[in-house]
Amino acid sequence: MNISAIDLRLLRSFIATARLGSVTRAANLLHLTQPALSQHLRELRGLMGVQLLDRVGRGVALTPAGIELFSLLEPLLEDLDTALASVHGRSREVKGRLRIGAIDTYSRALVIPAVAEMLVAHPELKVSIEEMPAAQIDRALTENEIDIGLAFSNLSSADINQCTLFEENLVLIRLRAMSEGRCSERVSMEELADLRLALLNRNFAMRRQIDSAFSRAGLPLDVRVEAANVDSLVRLVGRGDWATIASRLAIDDAKRFEVREIDHADLSRIAALRWRRGRSFSAATLAFIHLLIDRLQRLPGIALSREAQAMLNA
């Protein structure tokens, strides 16, 4: 008897046929053709080295060896099916721990509201949110410190997959009281060069992008303050005649602040969900992704990418 060659398909075909007493009905139950099921039964008989079924009229009947095999095998397959269904069901439950890494603006404007909504529906879930620079997010993903990241699409790594979400232009942010009656929706690079600026420090991709754009334009920047997060910059801008360059999402008080798009193509960026290549999404990660994209779809001024729309509909 060649036990190692007996696979689950052959055993399931035998059990179904033994239960129903008919090759035709067993084939229909297993979504097989009758010749395919008959081949399974012949293979099993050959590998076992004993006759398991006898033809009786239009049906089949168990031989003594078949009766013994059926009595031993049926409860084992039932336990296996129960175990497989249980694991499948648990894998779809949104629980356990979800670890998210995001740049600070996206964390506060997008991740935290999505997680708050998620926890209402899934109170057993535990979530860890880490605010970090974009490059650090990729490192944390590859070292399995976080499950999903929200950063920019222009960072490349062979170990990272991504789904682009939307494109945004960086904006000038300052107090309306300091705007001196300006009403234009856009601001030139030359105007920005005349302002006292508070920007992220050079550890951040956005600051390096800003420096690069102004350097190519041949314009100096009057940077008076550097900080490690955009929230601190906005707080500083809210105290006087300062300005910062950041995402529009950093502002939640549009009446107090003047927000103007910068008239330069190099000061745009694409937001993206990023994850370690080859990593399977847990039910919690999938739920977060769908909820985040659904929220983005409802935000004014956000145009979802085709990739994001496809992921939402998947």
pLDDT of 200 > 90? The answer is yes
Q: Does 177 share its domain with 262?
A: yes
> Could you say which of 91, 109, 131 is where a domain stops?
91
Nearest one of 155, 109, 149, 159 to 129, comparing CA atoms? 149
CATH number at residue 115: 3.40.190.10
Look up tokens 């499950």; give the residue: 147
The total number of structural domains in the chain stands at 3
Taking the C-alpha atoms of residue 27 and residue 39, their distance in angstroms, rounded to an integer, is 11
Q: Confirm if 140 and 146 have CB atoms less than 8 A apart.
A: yes
Same domain, 76 and 134: no
The overall average pLDDT reported for the chain is 88
Q: Rounded to whole angstroms, what are the CA distances from 271 to 189, 242, 304? A: 23, 27, 10
The arithmetic mean of pLDDT across residues 213-231, rounded, is 93
- Single-letter code of the amino acid located at 262: I
255 and 179 within one domain: yes
Residue 142 has pLDDT above 80, yes or no: yes
Which of 108, 229, 245, 59 shows the shortest CA–CA distance to 168?
245
Residue entry with tokens 């009403």: 183
Question: 181 and 136 in one domain?
Answer: no
Based on the domain organization, do 274 and 258 belong to the same domain? Answer: no
Residue 273 clears pLDDT 90, i.e. is over it = yes
59, 65, 66, 16: which is closest to 37 by C-alpha? 16
Last residue of one domain, picked from the residues 71, 91, 111:
91
- Domain of 238: which CATH number? 3.40.190.290
- Quick one: 205 and 262 in the same domain? yes
pLDDT band at 1 (very low <50, low <70, confident <90, very high): low
pLDDT band at 247 (very low <50, low <70, confident <90, very high): very high
Domain with residue 67: its CATH number is: 1.10.10.10
- Same domain? 186 vs 259: yes
- Domain ranges, residue 195: 171-266
Dist CA 311 CA 293 (whole Å): 8
Same domain for 84 and 54, yes or no, is yes
β-bridge partners, 164: 272
How far apart CA 216 and CA 196 sit, in angstroms, is 20
268: Cβ–Cβ under 8 A, 6 or more apart, which residues?
167, 168, 169, 170
What's the rounded Cα separation, in Å, for the pair 134 and 206? Answer: 9
Mark whether 141 and 179 lie in a shared domain: no
Strand partners, 99: 128
Reported as a pLDDT band with limits 50, 70 and 90, residue 17 is: very high
- Say yes or no: 180 and 261 in one domain: yes
Domain finish residue from 69, 91, 113: 91
Residues 259 and 278 in one domain: no
